[in-house]
Structures are given as structure tokens and as C-alpha cells.
Amino acid sequence: MQFLTDIMLEILKFFFAIGGHNYGLAIIWLTVAVNIALYPLTLSSIQQMAAMQKIQPKMQELQKKHKDDPKKMQQELMGLYKGEGVNPLGGCLPTLLKIPFFLALFFALQSKEFLALVGQGGSGQSFLWMANIANPDPIRLMPIIIGITTWYMQKSLPAAPGQPKLMIYVMPIMIAFISIAFPAGVQIYWVVSNLMGGVQQSHIMKREGQKSEKRRVNK
């Protein structure tokens, strides 16, 4: 983990130098760069999730038909996935790839090296109302924003098969609560990542909807 932390510190220094000499801004530029770099995977992920949603009636039919034979049901489901060109795990990849960035940033902001950097004075360590982004948001507004943006991001996604609707509201509350103790810099990363993810997902879903409508009209 120290290796990732060291790399993250160098990346933060780079964005600090070119992006306004503020570590809060540096984290925003870093988050934008990560989301742009992962956009092709996000596109593939949303397409897979939309495909899973489309074949959900067929999945439910197979589950009902083979409810007393789990092995046969699994075989039939795998055959359905293959026939439809769907990867049931395809929607998880972008999220999994963002985890190393999140962890590296978390540990980088807690490292002695970063604390030494922000201890050199100047305004680089402060952002908006937060005096030091290495510490949690003192007024706990960022966790609330994280909860709201998490809800927004979830609403922009295709509904996962079998996902209870209540989870759309429960999950943001849980994440907001968990994020209270995180450094403000990590909270900034989370909010910006949620916003960019939501915008990207909404754009992809709109474009996929337009494609589906064109295919339907041309039939």
C-alpha cells in the first residue's frame, strides 16, 4: 500500500502545481482524470447492466421453472447469458477499478508526507469551509452531500435484477454515515466521483435509449 500511497502523493503534487496550488482542487482534477480514463469501462458496464435489465423477464421465467433444481437453473441462466451476450459481472468492473484510487488517496492524506506538505503553510491545505482537507469536514456537510450524490448516481443506473427499491435510499444513508470520519480530501473525491459517474451514466442511458428506439422504428 505504501507504493500506491507514494504514487498518489506524486500525482497530487502534479495536479497541485498545474491546477491552482490547492490540494482540494488537485483532488478534483485527479477525480476528473480518473473518471475520464475509466469512461470506456463505464460505458461497457452500463451497457451490460441495461442488457441484464432487458433479459430480467426471461431470468425470472427460468428461476420459476427450475426453482426445485438449482443446478439446472444455474445451467439455464448461464446459457441465457451466453446467448444474449451478457456478462452478469460486467457492471462491477469500473467500481472495482476505482477502489485502488480511493484507498491510495485515503492513505496518502493520512501519511506523514502529506501532513508535512500541508504543514508548510499557505492556503493549499484548505478548501471552501474546510481548513485542512487531511481532517474530516468539521461541520459534516460533506457526508450529507455524499449521501445525496450517491442517491443521484444510483438513480441514473439501470435497476439491478432483484434489487429492492428500498436500497436506493438505504445505501446512500449508510455511505453518508460511514464517510463522516473520512478526511475531507477523500470526501471531496467521493462527491466529485459520484457527480461525474451520475452524469456519465445519464448520458450513456440516454444514448442507449435513443439507439433502442431507432432499432425499434427500423424493424
Count of alpha carbons within 13 Å of 53, Cβ hemisphere only?
A: 15
Alpha helix (H) residue ranges in the chain: 2-18, 23-37, 39-54, 56-65, 70-84, 93-110, 112-118, 141-155, 167-178, 184-218
pLDDT at 210: 66
Separation CA 198–CA 152 (nearest Å): 6
Is the backbone of residue 140 left (phi > 0), alpha (psi -120 to 50) or beta?
left
Residues 94, 175, 108, CA angle at the centre, nearest 5°? 65
Grid cell listed for 70: 438449482
Phi and psi torsions of 209, nearest 5°: -65, -40
Is the Cβ–Cβ distance between 153 and 194 less than 8 Å? yes
Is the Cβ–Cβ distance between 201 and 156 less than 8 Å? yes
pLDDT at 132: 84
pLDDT at 148: 92
**Residues 155-169, mean pLDDT to the nearest whole number:** 65
pLDDT at 165: 67
Q: Please, which residues have CB within 8 angstroms of residue 23's CB and are 6 or more apart in sequence?
A: 12, 16, 117, 118, 124, 125, 127, 133, 185
CA proximity to 29, closest of 184, 192, 202:
192
Q: Please, which residues have CB within 8 angstroms of residue 31's CB and are 6 or more apart in sequence?
A: 188, 189, 192, 193, 196
Is residue 11 predicted with pLDDT exceeding 70?
A: yes
Report the sign of the C-alpha dihedral through residues 155, 159, 164, 167, in that order. negative
Separation CA 187–CA 143 (nearest Å): 7
Q: Is 130 helix (H, G, I), strand (E, B) or coil?
A: strand
- Range of lowest pLDDT (52-56, 84-88, 136-140, 142-146): 84-88
Is residue 219 predicted with pLDDT exceeding 70?
A: no
**Residues 156-179, mean pLDDT to the nearest whole number:** 75
pLDDT at 110: 73
pLDDT at 4: 75
Confidence of residue 215 (pLDDT cuts 50, 70, 90): low
| pLDDT tens per residue, range 91-103 | 566 667 667 777 7
